[in-house]
Protein backbone atom coordinates (compact mmCIF):
# COMPACT_ATOMS: atom_id res chain seq x y z
CA UNK A 1 0.00 0.00 0.00
CA UNK A 2 1.17 3.55 -0.65
CA UNK A 3 -1.06 5.59 1.58
CA UNK A 4 0.41 7.62 4.43
CA UNK A 5 -2.16 8.44 7.09
CA UNK A 6 -1.49 10.59 10.15
CA UNK A 7 -4.06 10.81 12.92
CA UNK A 8 -4.81 14.46 13.65
CA UNK A 9 -5.06 15.28 17.37
CA UNK A 10 -8.55 15.30 18.81
CA UNK A 11 -8.42 18.99 19.60
CA UNK A 12 -7.69 19.89 16.01
CA UNK A 13 -10.55 17.92 14.48
CA UNK A 14 -13.22 18.29 17.12
CA UNK A 15 -15.18 20.77 15.02
CA UNK A 16 -14.99 18.65 11.87
CA UNK A 17 -15.02 15.04 13.06
CA UNK A 18 -18.72 14.44 12.51
CA UNK A 19 -18.49 15.86 9.01
CA UNK A 20 -15.62 13.67 7.85
CA UNK A 21 -16.71 10.44 9.53
CA UNK A 22 -18.11 9.06 6.29
CA UNK A 23 -14.89 9.61 4.33
CA UNK A 24 -12.98 6.32 4.18
CA UNK A 25 -9.25 6.03 4.80
CA UNK A 26 -6.79 3.21 5.17
CA UNK A 27 -3.17 2.82 6.15
CA UNK A 28 -0.28 0.70 5.01
CA UNK A 29 3.47 0.58 4.47
CA UNK A 30 4.95 3.63 2.78
CA UNK A 31 6.46 3.53 -0.68
CA UNK A 32 10.23 3.71 -0.55
CA UNK A 33 10.54 6.16 -3.44
CA UNK A 34 9.70 9.34 -1.49
CA UNK A 35 10.50 10.67 1.98
CA UNK A 36 7.65 10.81 4.46
CA UNK A 37 6.10 14.29 4.69
CA UNK A 38 5.96 15.77 8.18
CA UNK A 39 2.55 16.43 9.78
CA UNK A 40 2.08 19.75 11.58
CA UNK A 41 -0.32 20.21 14.49
CA UNK A 42 -2.70 23.01 13.55
CA UNK A 43 -5.64 23.74 15.85
CA UNK A 44 -9.02 24.35 14.25
CA UNK A 45 -9.87 26.68 17.12
CA UNK A 46 -8.36 29.98 16.05
CA UNK A 47 -8.45 32.93 18.50
CA UNK A 48 -10.73 35.71 17.32
CA UNK A 49 -8.15 38.46 17.89
CA UNK A 50 -4.86 36.88 16.87
CA UNK A 51 -4.95 34.03 14.33
CA UNK A 52 -2.25 31.46 14.98
CA UNK A 53 -0.01 31.08 11.90
CA UNK A 54 0.77 27.64 10.54
CA UNK A 55 4.23 26.59 11.80
CA UNK A 56 6.71 26.73 8.95
CA UNK A 57 10.18 25.17 8.84
CA UNK A 58 12.82 27.06 6.90
CA UNK A 59 13.24 25.67 3.41
CA UNK A 60 10.15 23.47 3.62
CA UNK A 61 6.93 23.52 1.61
CA UNK A 62 3.85 23.57 3.82
CA UNK A 63 0.51 22.42 2.39
CA UNK A 64 -2.69 22.83 4.39
CA UNK A 65 -5.98 21.40 3.12
CA UNK A 66 -9.13 23.20 4.25
CA UNK A 67 -11.84 21.04 2.65
CA UNK A 68 -13.09 20.50 -0.92
CA UNK A 69 -10.34 22.07 -3.08
CA UNK A 70 -9.36 24.91 -0.73
CA UNK A 71 -5.62 24.78 -0.10
CA UNK A 72 -3.08 27.04 1.59
CA UNK A 73 0.53 26.70 0.48
CA UNK A 74 3.40 28.36 2.34
CA UNK A 75 6.51 28.45 0.18
CA UNK A 76 10.08 27.87 1.41
CA UNK A 77 10.56 31.63 1.32
CA UNK A 78 7.46 32.32 3.40
CA UNK A 79 5.03 33.44 0.68
CA UNK A 80 1.42 32.32 1.12
CA UNK A 81 -0.69 31.09 -1.80
CA UNK A 82 -4.37 30.20 -1.33
CA UNK A 83 -6.11 28.12 -3.99
CA UNK A 84 -9.88 27.81 -4.52
CA UNK A 85 -10.95 29.57 -1.30
CA UNK A 86 -14.37 28.27 -0.33
CA UNK A 87 -14.20 28.57 3.44
CA UNK A 88 -16.97 30.61 5.03
CA UNK A 89 -19.79 28.21 4.09
CA UNK A 90 -17.79 25.04 3.40
CA UNK A 91 -19.18 22.26 5.65
CA UNK A 92 -15.80 20.51 5.68
CA UNK A 93 -13.75 23.54 6.72
CA UNK A 94 -13.06 23.52 10.48
CA UNK A 95 -14.90 26.31 12.27
CA UNK A 96 -11.73 28.18 13.18
CA UNK A 97 -10.74 28.61 9.54
CA UNK A 98 -14.10 29.93 8.31
CA UNK A 99 -12.96 33.41 9.27
CA UNK A 100 -10.83 34.62 6.38
CA UNK A 101 -8.56 36.45 8.84
CA UNK A 102 -7.54 33.06 10.24
CA UNK A 103 -5.44 32.41 7.13
CA UNK A 104 -3.05 35.18 8.13
CA UNK A 105 -1.38 37.28 5.45
CA UNK A 106 -2.07 35.98 1.94
CA UNK A 107 0.16 36.99 -0.98
CA UNK A 108 -1.60 35.33 -3.92
CA UNK A 109 -4.98 33.77 -4.66
CA UNK A 110 -5.48 31.19 -7.42
CA UNK A 111 -8.93 30.10 -8.64
CA UNK A 112 -9.32 27.13 -10.97
CA UNK A 113 -12.84 28.00 -12.17
CA UNK A 114 -15.94 30.03 -11.34
CA UNK A 115 -18.08 27.49 -9.50
CA UNK A 116 -19.11 28.59 -6.02
CA UNK A 117 -17.29 25.79 -4.20
CA UNK A 118 -13.97 27.03 -5.61
CA UNK A 119 -14.49 30.76 -5.98
CA UNK A 120 -16.90 32.04 -3.33
CA UNK A 121 -14.48 33.73 -0.93
CA UNK A 122 -11.86 34.84 -3.46
CA UNK A 123 -13.06 38.46 -3.87
CA UNK A 124 -13.33 39.09 -0.12
CA UNK A 125 -9.96 37.44 0.55
CA UNK A 126 -8.35 39.55 -2.19
CA UNK A 127 -9.67 42.78 -0.71
CA UNK A 128 -8.72 41.77 2.82
CA UNK A 129 -5.08 41.16 1.82
CA UNK A 130 -4.74 43.42 -1.23
CA UNK A 131 -3.70 40.21 -3.01
CA UNK A 132 -4.38 39.51 -6.70
CA UNK A 133 -6.70 36.75 -7.88
CA UNK A 134 -5.53 34.78 -10.91
CA UNK A 135 -7.95 32.42 -12.62
CA UNK A 136 -9.38 31.76 -16.08
CA UNK A 137 -9.12 34.95 -18.15
CA UNK A 138 -12.86 35.11 -18.79
CA UNK A 139 -13.61 34.87 -15.08
CA UNK A 140 -11.21 37.68 -14.23
CA UNK A 141 -12.78 39.87 -16.90
CA UNK A 142 -16.25 39.23 -15.46
CA UNK A 143 -15.03 40.10 -11.95
CA UNK A 144 -13.97 43.52 -13.17
CA UNK A 145 -17.03 44.19 -15.34
CA UNK A 146 -19.42 43.20 -12.56
CA UNK A 147 -17.59 45.38 -10.06
CA UNK A 148 -16.57 42.47 -7.83
CA UNK A 149 -12.87 43.35 -7.95
CA UNK A 150 -10.80 46.25 -9.29
CA UNK A 151 -8.55 45.65 -12.27
CA UNK A 152 -5.37 45.55 -10.20
CA UNK A 153 -6.72 42.65 -8.11
CA UNK A 154 -8.10 40.73 -11.10
CA UNK A 155 -5.32 40.47 -13.71
CA UNK A 156 -5.81 38.19 -16.70
CA UNK A 157 -3.74 35.29 -17.97
CA UNK A 158 -4.58 32.02 -19.68
CA UNK A 159 -3.75 28.38 -20.34
CA UNK A 160 -0.10 27.82 -21.15
CA UNK A 161 0.87 31.16 -19.65
CA UNK A 162 3.47 31.30 -16.89
CA UNK A 163 3.46 34.19 -14.42
CA UNK A 164 5.67 35.27 -11.51
CA UNK A 165 3.37 37.58 -9.51
CA UNK A 166 5.10 37.15 -6.14
CA UNK A 167 8.73 36.94 -7.18
CA UNK A 168 10.84 35.50 -10.01
CA UNK A 169 11.50 32.22 -8.22
CA UNK A 170 7.83 31.23 -7.90
CA UNK A 171 6.28 30.29 -11.25
CA UNK A 172 2.56 29.73 -11.84
CA UNK A 173 1.44 28.01 -15.05
CA UNK A 174 -2.17 27.46 -16.12
CA UNK A 175 -3.01 24.04 -17.57
CA UNK A 176 -6.06 22.47 -19.14
CA UNK A 177 -8.85 21.00 -17.00
CA UNK A 178 -11.83 19.00 -18.28
CA UNK A 179 -14.80 20.70 -16.59
CA UNK A 180 -17.04 23.79 -16.88
CA UNK A 181 -16.86 27.28 -15.33
CA UNK A 182 -20.10 29.26 -15.07
CA UNK A 183 -20.10 32.33 -12.82
CA UNK A 184 -23.36 32.77 -10.92
CA UNK A 185 -23.76 36.33 -9.64
CA UNK A 186 -26.63 37.82 -7.68
CA UNK A 187 -27.57 41.16 -9.20
CA UNK A 188 -27.97 43.59 -6.29
CA UNK A 189 -30.49 45.71 -8.21
CA UNK A 190 -32.86 42.79 -8.90
CA UNK A 191 -32.00 40.31 -6.17
CA UNK A 192 -31.90 37.58 -8.84
CA UNK A 193 -29.09 35.23 -9.81
CA UNK A 194 -27.50 35.68 -13.21
CA UNK A 195 -25.06 33.44 -15.08
CA UNK A 196 -21.97 35.15 -16.51
CA UNK A 197 -18.79 34.18 -18.35
CA UNK A 198 -16.47 32.18 -16.13
CA UNK A 199 -13.77 31.38 -18.67
CA UNK A 200 -12.47 27.87 -19.28
CA UNK A 201 -11.50 25.82 -16.20
CA UNK A 202 -7.82 25.41 -15.47
CA UNK A 203 -5.34 23.67 -13.21
CA UNK A 204 -2.13 25.15 -11.84
CA UNK A 205 1.48 24.02 -11.94
CA UNK A 206 3.16 25.87 -9.08
CA UNK A 207 6.97 25.79 -9.06
CA UNK A 208 8.42 27.06 -5.79
CA UNK A 209 11.75 28.61 -4.84
CA UNK A 210 13.41 25.25 -4.18
CA UNK A 211 12.16 23.69 -7.43
CA UNK A 212 9.35 21.68 -5.76
CA UNK A 213 6.36 21.50 -8.13
CA UNK A 214 2.73 21.22 -7.08
CA UNK A 215 -0.05 20.43 -9.54
CA UNK A 216 -3.41 21.58 -8.21
CA UNK A 217 -5.72 19.95 -10.71
CA UNK A 218 -8.87 21.89 -9.83
CA UNK A 219 -12.00 20.08 -10.98
CA UNK A 220 -11.34 17.79 -13.91
CA UNK A 221 -12.18 14.58 -15.64
CA UNK A 222 -9.52 12.29 -17.05
CA UNK A 223 -7.95 13.58 -20.29
CA UNK A 224 -5.10 12.32 -22.43
CA UNK A 225 -2.85 15.36 -22.15
CA UNK A 226 -2.31 14.63 -18.47
CA UNK A 227 0.47 12.44 -19.79
CA UNK A 228 2.07 15.48 -21.48
CA UNK A 229 1.70 17.49 -18.26
CA UNK A 230 3.42 14.71 -16.36
CA UNK A 231 6.24 14.32 -18.87
CA UNK A 232 6.85 18.05 -19.32
CA UNK A 233 6.28 19.59 -15.88
CA UNK A 234 7.11 16.53 -13.72
CA UNK A 235 5.08 17.54 -10.66
CA UNK A 236 6.31 16.38 -7.27
CA UNK A 237 2.91 16.66 -5.58
CA UNK A 238 -0.65 16.31 -6.88
CA UNK A 239 -3.73 17.83 -5.31
CA UNK A 240 -6.16 15.54 -7.12
CA UNK A 241 -9.97 15.37 -7.11
CA UNK A 242 -11.37 11.89 -6.45
CA UNK A 243 -15.04 12.34 -5.55
CA UNK A 244 -16.63 11.36 -8.87
CA UNK A 245 -19.89 12.69 -10.42
CA UNK A 246 -18.47 16.15 -11.26
CA UNK A 247 -14.80 15.11 -11.29
CA UNK A 248 -12.67 11.98 -11.56
CA UNK A 249 -13.64 9.04 -9.39
CA UNK A 250 -10.94 7.13 -7.46
CA UNK A 251 -10.30 4.72 -10.34
CA UNK A 252 -9.86 7.50 -12.90
CA UNK A 253 -7.73 9.49 -10.46
CA UNK A 254 -5.49 6.46 -9.95
CA UNK A 255 -5.00 6.07 -13.72
CA UNK A 256 -4.03 9.76 -13.93
CA UNK A 257 -1.64 9.39 -11.00
CA UNK A 258 0.10 6.13 -11.89
CA UNK A 259 0.12 6.09 -15.69
CA UNK A 260 0.17 9.78 -16.64
CA UNK A 261 1.44 12.17 -13.97
CA UNK A 262 3.73 9.91 -11.89
CA UNK A 263 4.31 12.24 -8.91
CA UNK A 264 6.17 11.48 -5.69
CA UNK A 265 3.16 12.46 -3.55
CA UNK A 266 -0.59 12.80 -3.99
CA UNK A 267 -3.18 14.43 -1.73
CA UNK A 268 -6.79 13.46 -2.56
CA UNK A 269 -9.25 16.39 -2.50
CA UNK A 270 -12.82 17.20 -3.59
CA UNK A 271 -14.62 14.27 -2.00
CA UNK A 272 -17.21 13.73 0.72
CA UNK A 273 -18.50 17.31 0.76
CA UNK A 274 -21.84 16.47 -0.89
CA UNK A 275 -23.65 13.14 -1.36
CA UNK A 276 -22.61 13.00 -5.03
CA UNK A 277 -18.90 13.07 -4.18
CA UNK A 278 -18.78 9.45 -3.06
CA UNK A 279 -15.17 8.57 -3.86
CA UNK A 280 -12.90 7.95 -0.86
CA UNK A 281 -9.14 8.03 -0.23
CA UNK A 282 -9.29 4.30 0.60
CA UNK A 283 -10.70 3.54 -2.87
CA UNK A 284 -8.11 5.80 -4.49
CA UNK A 285 -5.26 4.14 -2.62
CA UNK A 286 -6.56 0.67 -3.44
CA UNK A 287 -6.72 1.55 -7.14
CA UNK A 288 -3.13 2.86 -7.05
CA UNK A 289 -1.88 -0.41 -5.61
CA UNK A 290 1.88 -0.70 -5.21
CA UNK A 291 2.88 2.14 -7.53
CA UNK A 292 5.75 4.29 -6.17
CA UNK A 293 3.65 7.27 -5.09
CA UNK A 294 2.97 8.22 -1.49
CA UNK A 295 -0.68 9.11 -0.86
CA UNK A 296 -1.12 11.59 1.98
CA UNK A 297 -4.67 11.57 3.35
CA UNK A 298 -5.49 14.74 5.28
CA UNK A 299 -8.28 15.86 7.54
CA UNK A 300 -9.51 19.39 6.76
CA UNK A 301 -7.37 21.88 8.64
CA UNK A 302 -4.34 19.59 8.76
CA UNK A 303 -1.00 20.69 7.33
CA UNK A 304 2.00 18.71 6.10
CA UNK A 305 5.52 19.77 5.21
CA UNK A 306 7.42 18.38 2.24
Average confidence (pLDDT) over 14-20: 33
Tell me whether residue 55 is in a domain. no
Residue 57 has a CB neighbour count (10 Å cut-off) of 12
Residues 27-45: tens digit of each pLDDT = 333 344 577 887 764 544 4
Looking at residue 80, the DSSP 8-state letter turns out to be E
| pLDDT for residue 92 is more than 70 | yes
Average confidence (pLDDT) over 198-217: 97
CATH at residue 251: 3.60.15.10
Tell me whether residue 52 is in a domain. no
Q: Kind of pairing, strands 162-163 and 303-305?
A: unpaired
Q: What angle do CA 74, 76, 78 make, to 5 degrees?
A: 55
User: What's the confidence (pLDDT) of residue 59?
Assistant: 80
Tell me whether residue 51 is in a domain. no
Number of H helices, E strands in the chain: 8, 17
Which domain, by its residues, includes 297? 3-16+25-46+60-305
Task: HSE, CB side, 13 Å, CA atoms: give it for residue 162.
Answer: 10
Tell me whether residue 54 is in a domain. no
Residues 144-195: tens digit of each pLDDT = 999 999 999 999 999 999 999 999 999 999 999 999 999 999 999 999 999 9
Tell me whether residue 294 is in a domain. yes
User: Using only C-alpha atoms, what is the Rg of the chain?
Assistant: 18
Question: How much is the mean pLDDT over the chain?
Answer: 86
Tell me whether residue 108 is in a domain. yes
Amino acid sequence: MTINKKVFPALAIAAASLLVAACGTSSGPAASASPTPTPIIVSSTVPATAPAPTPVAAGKVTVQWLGQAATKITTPGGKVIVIDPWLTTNPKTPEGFRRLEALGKVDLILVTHAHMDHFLDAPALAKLNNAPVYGPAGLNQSLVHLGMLPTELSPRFNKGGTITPIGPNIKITATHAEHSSELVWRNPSTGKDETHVGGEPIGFIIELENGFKIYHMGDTGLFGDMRLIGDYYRPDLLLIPIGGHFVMDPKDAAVATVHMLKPKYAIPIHYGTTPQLKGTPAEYTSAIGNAPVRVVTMNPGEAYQF
